[in-house]
Amino acid sequence: MSESQNIEWKQSWHDDYLKWICGFANAIGGTIYIGKNDAGEVVHLDNYQKLLEDIPAKIRNYMGIVCDVQLLEEATKKYIQIKVNPYTVPVSLRGRYYYRTGSTKIELTGVELNEFLLKKAGKTWDDVMEESASLADIAPESVAFFKKEAAVSGRLPKDLLDLPLPETLEKLRLAHGNQIKRAALILFGKDPNRFYPNCKVKIGRFGSTDADLRFQEVLEGNLLELLSQVPELLNAKFLTKPIVFEGLQRIEKETYPVAALREMLLNALVHRTYMGAMIQIRVYDDKITIWNEGTLPEGMTLESLKGHHVSRPRNPIIADVCFKAGYIDSWGRGTIKIYEACQEAGLPEPEITVLDGGILVTLHHEAAGGQIGGQIGGQIGGQIVTERQKEVLQLLLQKNTITRKELAKQLGIAESAIQKHLKALINAKVISRVGTKNGYWKIEN
């Protein structure tokens, strides 16, 4: 047996360890052994009799809970076991709240404490009534737009489509009488920032590093408005679409898969902590990132996002309305769609990481198609290329994982001829090969 999320070893007793007991009680429970060193070896407690009286009394007096405190013995050495049960109500120590996560103890403050207390009360942040708001703060046009979307998705009962505004919100569990919930303001509010100052999305255009900020924009509004406005602004101002030619036809390609960008934005809007910082999107020369405050649910890992995992939304009422509108499913497939969209587009695997109390999703664009596309009709990097090599480049831009066999089939020439064209482009430093069997073609700047 070793230290873990619910096991802790302490060589001797110190009153500061009451914080660990508080953390266990607020999490999934656990056991503390007093009289074991960091290696798990028992060291004799000379004052075990006094501790057997003092520890239960301090736990009861400072936290108002009862723990099972027992004296154990190993090879004539005495040590104490403190078993802490999980509590359904929040437990505090001198007015402070602690929580056991992984193998560490943290003190809950601010947004984390607010969410913890709501969870213990059986509620979520979006399920709370906003006392200072009323139906007058809801935008009827946003609700009408939602109904149109829900009618297309077929996930909203038809009898709800014709209901007036108050009844619609009640049926969606967003209001009760003239009182409305936080979720209603986030989804349909005229000005949700009046209540929650960071219902915004900040978008910045950078060069290759964070130090090279070129311009930025901040959008604000309810969730439905942001879901429409953000992609429009990204396409109009922040994303440079690569241009390729098929014969005399000019074709603009998407820099990043639309499906991936949409899922990234939806995940950020639905699962963010709305009492935290605004959503931040950074567009670089070779990548795009989106960050939202709010960590993964307890027990869920970043690796699990790549495959089957249970849907556990931070804001379940907001998520339910977005499901009815057809924006998301209820199976936790959002991140899977991001991975699949990038794979189909021939882009490197997306990166999902934890950063500064939030989730950061990064899409890479290795092909640098925007720079190559404008040069494809003539010289590339100062090198003259043949018409056949231009066709090869166009196919590499479309799918950088394409094989020699696939190139030969699409161009209708021998695989040996493809090999010669690729070698010429590599020698001219127009392209390079990254990896071998499972690698990809990189277009050099």
The predicted pLDDT at position 326 comes to 93
Average pLDDT, integer, range 373-390: 57
Report DSSP letters for 96-158, one per residue: EEEEEETTEEEEE-HHHHHHHHHHHTT--GGGSB-TT--GGGB-HHHHHHHHHHHHHHT-S-H
The predicted pLDDT at position 134 comes to 94
- Highest mean pLDDT (candidates 74-78, 138-142, 157-161, 204-208): 138-142
> CB within 8 A of 221, min separation 6: which ones?
192, 199, 229
The predicted pLDDT at position 176 comes to 92
> CB within 8 A of 316, min separation 6: which ones?
124, 126, 127
Query: Which tens digit of pLDDT belongs to each residue from 42-98?
Result: 998 989 999 999 999 999 999 999 999 999 999 999 999 999 999 999 999 999 999
Residue entry with tokens 């006392």: 131
**How far is it, in rounded angstroms, from Cα 254 to Cα 265?**
17
**How far is it, in rounded angstroms, from Cα 97 to Cα 52?**
25
Residue entry with tokens 């009962």: 157
The predicted pLDDT at position 58 comes to 96
The predicted pLDDT at position 412 comes to 81
Average pLDDT, integer, range 12-35: 95
**How far is it, in rounded angstroms, from Cα 62 to Cα 92?**
8
Pairing of the two strands 279-283 and 287-293 = antiparallel
Average pLDDT, integer, range 204-216: 91
**How far is it, in rounded angstroms, from Cα 19 to Cα 63?**
10
Burial (Cβ within 10 Å: 0-12, 13-18, ≥19) of residue 444: middle
Which region among 8-12, 18-22, 58-62, 100-104 has the lowest average model confidence (pLDDT)?
100-104
The answer to whether 230 and 223 have CB atoms below 8 angstroms apart is no
Q: Which amino acid is located at 38 in the chain? A: D
**How far is it, in rounded angstroms, from Cα 172 to Cα 180?**
11
Evaluate if residue 317 carries a pLDDT over 50. Answer: yes
- Between these two residues, 169 and 414, which has the higher pLDDT value? 169
Residue in 431, 294, 281 with CA at minimum distance from that of residue 367: 431
In order of 290, 336, 349, the CA distances from 304 in angstroms are: 19, 10, 15
The predicted pLDDT at position 103 comes to 80
The predicted pLDDT at position 398 comes to 78
Query: Which tens digit of pLDDT belongs to each residue from 239-276?
Result: 876 655 555 565 666 789 999 999 999 999 999 999 88
The answer to whether 295 and 312 have CB atoms below 8 angstroms apart is no
- 3-state class (DSSP) for residue 299: coil
Query: Which tens digit of pLDDT belongs to each residue from 108-124?
Result: 998 889 889 998 988 99
Evaluate if residue 136 carries a pLDDT over 90. Answer: yes
Given pLDDT bands bounded at 50, 70 and 90, which one contains residue 190? Answer: very high
Q: What average pLDDT does the chain have? A: 88
Residue in 237, 169, 225 with CA at minimum distance from that of residue 193: 225
Average pLDDT, integer, range 388-405: 84
Q: With b meaning 16 or more CB within 10 Å and e meaning fewer, what string describes 164-185?
A: eeeebbeebebbeeeebbbbbb
Query: Which tens digit of pLDDT belongs to each residue from 148-174?
Result: 999 999 998 888 888 999 999 999 999
Given pLDDT bands bounded at 50, 70 and 90, which one contains residue 388? Answer: confident
Q: Please report, to the nearest 10 degrees, the dihedral formed by the alpha carbons of residues 135, 136, 138, 140 taken in order.
A: 100
Which region among 43-52, 197-206, 409-418 has the lowest average model confidence (pLDDT)?
409-418
Which region among 187-191, 261-265, 365-369 has the lowest average model confidence (pLDDT)?
365-369
Query: Which tens digit of pLDDT belongs to each residue from 33-45?
Result: 999 998 889 998 9
Given pLDDT bands bounded at 50, 70 and 90, which one contains residue 194? Answer: very high
Residue entry with tokens 């052994």: 33
Given pLDDT bands bounded at 50, 70 and 90, which one contains residue 435? Answer: confident
Evaluate if residue 376 carries a pLDDT over 50. Answer: no
- 3-state class (DSSP) for residue 173: coil
Query: Which tens digit of pLDDT belongs to each residue from 320-337?
Result: 999 999 999 878 888 999
Q: Please report, to the nearest 10 degrees, the dihedral formed by the alpha carbons of residues 296, 302, 304, 310 taken in order.
A: 10
Given pLDDT bands bounded at 50, 70 and 90, which one contains residue 297? Answer: confident
- 3-state class (DSSP) for residue 289: strand
Q: With b meaning 16 or more CB within 10 Å and e meaning fewer, what string describes 2-20?
A: eeebbbbbbbebeeebbbb
